[in-house]
Structure 1
Amino acid sequence: MKLNLNQPKSYYETFVILTLILLSCVLTYYFHFVLRSGVLFTHFFYIPIILAAVWWKRKGLWVTFFLAGMLIFTSYISPLQIDYFYDDLFRSVIFIIVSIITVILSERIEKSQIKLKTSEESFRSVVESAIDGIITTNLEGNVVFVNESFQKMFQYSEEEVIGRSVRKFIPPRLRDSYNQKMKEFHKTGKRQVGTFESAGLRKDGKEFPFEISITNWEGEGELFTTSIIRDISYRKNAEKTRSILSAIVEGSAESIIGVNLEGNILSWNKGAEQTYGYSAKETMGKSYSLLFPENSSEYREILDTIAKGEIIDHYETKRVTKAGQLIDISLIISPIKDKTGNIIGLSAIARDITREKASEEALARSEAQLSMITANMADIICQASIDGVYIYVSPSVKSVLGYQPPDLLGKSMLEGVHPDDRSRVTSCMQDARGKCMTQSVQYRYLRADGSYVWLGTTGTPVYDDEGQVTGFICNSRDITNQKNAEDALRESEAKYRTLVESANDPISLYDENGIFLMANKAGAHSMGKEPTDLLGRSLRDFFPPEIAEKQIDLIRRVINTEEGVDMEMFVPYGDKDQWFSTSLQPIYGRDNQIHSVQVISRDITEIKETQLKLEQALQDKEMLMKEIYHRVKNNLMVISSLLNLQSRYIKDEEAKAMFKQSQERAQSMAMIHERLYRSADLKHINFGDYIRKLARDLFRTYVADPSRIKLEMDVEDVMIDINIAIPLGLMVNELISNSMKHAFPEGNSGEIGVKFKEHADQCVLEVSDTGVGFPPDFDFEKSDSLGLQLINSLTQQISGELKLEKDQGTTFKITFQQPEEDD
Structure 2
Amino acid sequence: MHDPNILIVEDNAIAQLTFVQYLRDLGYHNVLVVNNGLEAIEAVRNSEIGLAFLDIRIRGSMSGLETAKHIKDITPSLPFIFLTASTDQRTVQQALDCEPYSILNKPYDLATLQGTIEGAINYRHCQEEANVLNSQFMLNQILDTTAVGVYITNNEGNFVKVNKAYCAIYGYSKPELIGQPFTLVLPKSIHKYAQTLHQEHLTGESEETNGEWQTIDKRGNRKDVFIQVGRIVGDNGQRFKLATVSDITERKDDVRKLTQALDEKDSYAQEVHHRVKNNMNIVSGLLYLQAEKVKDRSFVYNLFQESMTRIKTLSLIQEQLHRSDNFTFINLKDYVQSLVFNVQTSFREQTEKIRIKQEVTIKPLDVDRAIACGLIINEVITNSFKYAFPPSSTDSPQINIQAYFQKNHIHIVIIDNGVGLPDQFNLNNSTTLGFQLISSLTRQLSGAIDVNSQDGTHVYLKFPQ
Q: Settle same-fold status: TM greater than 0.5.
A: yes
Given residue 170 of structure 2, which amino acid in structure 1 is its aligned partner? M
Within-5 A mapping of 1:306-705: 390-391=11-12, 408=15, 416=23, 418-419=28-29, 422=32, 430=39, 432=41, 443-444=50-51, 457=54, 462-463=59-60, 469=61, 475-476=82-83, 477-478=103-104, 502=145, 504-506=147-149, 520-529=163-172, 539-540=182-183, 542-544=185-187, 546=190, 549=193, 568-580=212-224, 582=226, 584=228, 599-605=244-250, 607-650=251-294, 651-702=296-347, 704-705=349-350
Q: Alpha-carbon deviation of 1:803?
A: 2.7
Q: Alpha-carbon deviation of 1:752?
A: 1.1
Q: C-alpha distance in 2, partners of 1:588/1:792?
A: 77
For residues 695 and 388 of structure 1, do their structure 2 counterparts lie closer, same or farther at Cα, with a shift above 3 Å needed?
A: closer
Within-5 A mapping of 1:221-370: none
- Match of residue 210 from structure 1: none
Deviations 1:38-95 (A, max 9, x none): xxxxxxxxxxxxxxxxxxxxxxxxxxxxxxxxxxxxxxxxxxxxxxxxxxxxxxxxxx
Deviations 1:735-755 (A, max 9, x none): 221222233344334321223
For residues 540 and 608 of structure 1, do their structure 2 counterparts lie closer, same or farther at Cα, with a shift above 3 Å needed?
A: closer
- Match of residue 713 from structure 1: 358
Give secondary structure in 1 for the equivalent of 2:389.
coil
For residues 542 and 608 of structure 1, do their structure 2 counterparts lie closer, same or farther at Cα, with a shift above 3 Å needed?
A: closer
1:733 to 348, 353, 378: 378
- Match of residue 18 from structure 1: none
Given residue 149 of structure 2, which amino acid in structure 1 is its aligned partner? P
Give secondary structure in 1 for the equivalent of 2:393.
coil
Q: Alpha-carbon deviation of 1:647?
A: 2.0
Given residue 263 of structure 2, which amino acid in structure 1 is its aligned partner? Q
For residues 710 and 525 of structure 1, do their structure 2 counterparts lie closer, same or farther at Cα, with a shift above 3 Å needed?
A: same
Are residue 815 (structure 1) and residue 463 (structure 2) matched?
A: yes
Deviations 1:218-276 (A, max 9, x none): xxxxxxxxxxxxxxxxxxxxxxxxxxxxxxxxxxxxxxxxxxxxxxxxxxxxxxxxxxx
- Match of residue 743 from structure 1: 388
Given residue 739 of structure 1, which amino acid in structure 2 is its aligned partner? S
Q: C-alpha distance in 1, partners of 2:308/2:442?
A: 21
Contact 1:514–1:552, Cα closer than 8 Å, also in 2: no
Deviations 1:407-431 (A, max 9, x none): 62666869848445749x8998536
Q: Alpha-carbon deviation of 1:661?
A: 0.7
Are residue 785 (structure 1) and residue 432 (structure 2) matched?
A: yes
Give secondary structure in 1 for the equivalent of 2:274.
helix
For residues 485 and 634 of structure 1, do their structure 2 counterparts lie closer, same or farther at Cα, with a shift above 3 Å needed?
A: farther
Deviations 1:741-773 (A, max 9, x none): 233344334321223345798654433323344
Contact 1:389–1:413, Cα closer than 8 Å, also in 2: no
Q: Alpha-carbon deviation of 1:648?
A: 2.9
Count of aligned residue pairs for this structure pair = 388
Contact 1:547–1:571, Cα closer than 8 Å, also in 2: no
Given residue 660 of structure 1, which amino acid in structure 2 is its aligned partner? Q
Give secondary structure in 1 for the equivalent of 2:355.
strand
**Cα-Cα RMSD:** 5.3
Q: Alpha-carbon deviation of 1:645?
A: 2.2
Are residue 767 (structure 1) and residue 414 (structure 2) matched?
A: yes
Are residue 804 (structure 1) and residue 447 (structure 2) matched?
A: no
Q: C-alpha distance in 1, partners of 2:278/2:147?
A: 56
For residues 685 and 500 of structure 1, do their structure 2 counterparts lie closer, same or farther at Cα, with a shift above 3 Å needed?
A: farther
Give secondary structure in 1 for the equivalent of 2:12.
strand
For residues 577 and 710 of structure 1, do their structure 2 counterparts lie closer, same or farther at Cα, with a shift above 3 Å needed?
A: same
Contact 2:442–2:449, Cα closer than 8 Å, also in 1: no
Contact 1:764–1:813, Cα closer than 8 Å, also in 2: yes
Q: Alpha-carbon deviation of 1:667?
A: 1.7
Q: Alpha-carbon deviation of 1:725?
A: 3.7
Contact 1:771–1:810, Cα closer than 8 Å, also in 2: no
Q: C-alpha distance in 2, partners of 1:752/1:701?
A: 16
Give secondary structure in 1 for the equivalent of 2:418.
coil
- Match of residue 98 from structure 2: none
Q: C-alpha distance in 2, partners of 1:577/1:669?
A: 52
Give secondary structure in 2 for the equivalent of 1:390.
coil
Contact 1:800–1:816, Cα closer than 8 Å, also in 2: yes
Contact 1:583–1:600, Cα closer than 8 Å, also in 2: yes
Given residue 256 of structure 2, which amino acid in structure 1 is its aligned partner? L
Gaps of 5+ in 2: 1-6, 68-81, 84-102, 105-115, 134-138, 234-239
Deviations 1:447-480 (A, max 9, x none): xxxxxxxx664768744xxxxx498677432555
Q: Alpha-carbon deviation of 1:388?
A: 5.4
Given residue 661 of structure 1, which amino acid in structure 2 is its aligned partner? E
For residues 774 and 678 of structure 1, do their structure 2 counterparts lie closer, same or farther at Cα, with a shift above 3 Å needed?
A: same
Given residue 15 of structure 2, which amino acid in structure 1 is its aligned partner? L
For residues 509 and 561 of structure 1, do their structure 2 counterparts lie closer, same or farther at Cα, with a shift above 3 Å needed?
A: same
Q: C-alpha distance in 1, partners of 2:367/2:442?
A: 15
Contact 1:751–1:769, Cα closer than 8 Å, also in 2: yes
Gaps of 5+ in 1: 1-383, 393-406, 445-454, 464-468, 590-594, 818-823
Q: C-alpha distance in 1, partners of 2:282/2:299?
A: 23
For residues 609 and 657 of structure 1, do their structure 2 counterparts lie closer, same or farther at Cα, with a shift above 3 Å needed?
A: same
Give secondary structure in 1 for the equivalent of 2:349.
coil
For residues 743 and 487 of structure 1, do their structure 2 counterparts lie closer, same or farther at Cα, with a shift above 3 Å needed?
A: farther
Contact 2:36–2:62, Cα closer than 8 Å, also in 1: no
Give secondary structure in 2 for the equivalent of 1:738.
helix
Q: C-alpha distance in 2, partners of 1:532/1:761?
A: 69
Given residue 526 of structure 1, which amino acid in structure 2 is its aligned partner? I
Q: Alpha-carbon deviation of 1:663?
A: 0.8
Q: C-alpha distance in 2, partners of 1:432/1:706?
A: 103
Q: C-alpha distance in 1, partners of 2:205/2:374?
A: 55
For residues 732 and 701 of structure 1, do their structure 2 counterparts lie closer, same or farther at Cα, with a shift above 3 Å needed?
A: same
Contact 2:9–2:54, Cα closer than 8 Å, also in 1: no
For residues 611 and 544 of structure 1, do their structure 2 counterparts lie closer, same or farther at Cα, with a shift above 3 Å needed?
A: closer
Q: Alpha-carbon deviation of 1:664?
A: 0.7
Give secondary structure in 2 for the equivalent of 1:704.
helix
Q: Alpha-carbon deviation of 1:656?
A: 2.4
Q: Alpha-carbon deviation of 1:662?
A: 0.3
Deviations 1:11-60 (A, max 9, x none): xxxxxxxxxxxxxxxxxxxxxxxxxxxxxxxxxxxxxxxxxxxxxxxxxx
Given residue 437 of structure 2, which amino acid in structure 1 is its aligned partner? L
For residues 539 and 766 of structure 1, do their structure 2 counterparts lie closer, same or farther at Cα, with a shift above 3 Å needed?
A: farther
Give secondary structure in 2 for the equivalent of 1:599.
strand
Give secondary structure in 2 for the equivalent of 1:771.
coil
Contact 2:153–2:182, Cα closer than 8 Å, also in 1: no
Are residue 755 (structure 1) and residue 405 (structure 2) matched?
A: no
Q: Alpha-carbon deviation of 1:801?
A: 1.9
Q: Alpha-carbon deviation of 1:638?
A: 1.9
* Larger relative contact order, structure 1 or 2 (CA cutoff 8 Å, min sep 6): 2
Q: Alpha-carbon deviation of 1:434?
A: 9.9
Give secondary structure in 2 for the equivalent of 1:576.
coil
